Amino acid sequence: MKSQYLQDTALRYFLEVVRCGSIAAASQRLNVASSAISRQISNLESLLDTVLFERRPRGMVLSAGGEMLAAHAQKVTLEADRMVADLLALKGLRRGRIRVAASEGFGIDFLPRVIRGFQQKYPAIQFQVYVGPPGLVSRQVREGDSDIGVTFNRLPEPDIKIAHQQPAPVLLLMRKGHPLSRFKSVTLSQLRPYPLALPEQDTTLRQLFDLACSRQQLVFEPVLTSNYIQTLHNYLLEGDALSLTGEVTVRYRQDVLTMVPISDRALDGRYVEVQTLSGRTLPRIVEIFLDYLLAELNKD
**Among residues 61, 60, 146, which one has the least CA distance to residue 98?**
146
**SS3 (DSSP) at 132:** coil
pTM comes to 0.72
Query: So what's the pLDDT on residue 53?
Result: 84
Give 177's DSSP letter.
T
Buried b (16+ CB within 10 A) or exposed e, 89-104: beeeeeebebbbbbbb
Q: What is the C-alpha to C-alpha distance for residues 6 and 235, in angstroms, rounded to an integer? A: 52
Fold of the domain built from segment(s) 171-269? D-Maltodextrin-Binding Protein; domain 2 (3.40.190)
Query: So what's the pLDDT on residue 300?
Result: 64
Where on the phi/psi map is residue 141: left (φ > 0), alpha (ψ -120 to 50), or beta? alpha
Q: What is the C-alpha to C-alpha distance for residues 174 and 94, in angstroms, rounded to an integer? A: 43
Query: So what's the pLDDT on residue 153?
Result: 81
**SS3 (DSSP) at 150:** strand
Q: What is the C-alpha to C-alpha distance for residues 65 and 73, in angstroms, rounded to an integer? A: 12
Per-domain residue ranges of the chain:
1-73, 94-165+271-300, 171-269
Query: So what's the pLDDT on residue 257?
Result: 96
Query: So what's the pLDDT on residue 269?
Result: 86
Same fold across 94-165+271-300 and 171-269: yes
Sequential pLDDT tens for the chain (300 residues) = 444 444 577 778 888 888 888 888 888 888 878 888 888 888 888 888 888 888 777 778 888 888 888 777 777 777 777 776 666 665 554 568 899 999 999 999 999 999 999 999 888 889 999 999 888 999 999 988 999 999 998 778 888 999 999 999 999 999 999 999 999 999 999 999 999 999 998 888 999 999 999 999 999 999 999 999 999 999 999 899 999 999 999 999 999 999 999 999 889 989 999 999 998 888 888 999 999 999 999 886
Second-level CATH architecture of 94-165+271-300: 3-Layer(aba) Sandwich (3.40)
Is CATH 3.40.640.10 the classification given to domain 1-73?
Answer: no
Give residues with Cβ within 8 angstroms of 75, minimum separation 6.
279, 280
Query: So what's the pLDDT on residue 227?
Result: 92
Query: So what's the pLDDT on residue 94?
Result: 59
Q: What is the C-alpha to C-alpha distance for residues 106 and 108, in angstroms, rounded to an integer? A: 6
Buried b (16+ CB within 10 A) or exposed e, 228-252: ebeebbebbeeeebbbbbbbbbbbe
Q: What is the DSSP string of 76-128?
A: HHHHHHHHHHHHHHHTT---EEEEEEE-HHHHTTHHHHHHHHHHHHSTTEEEE
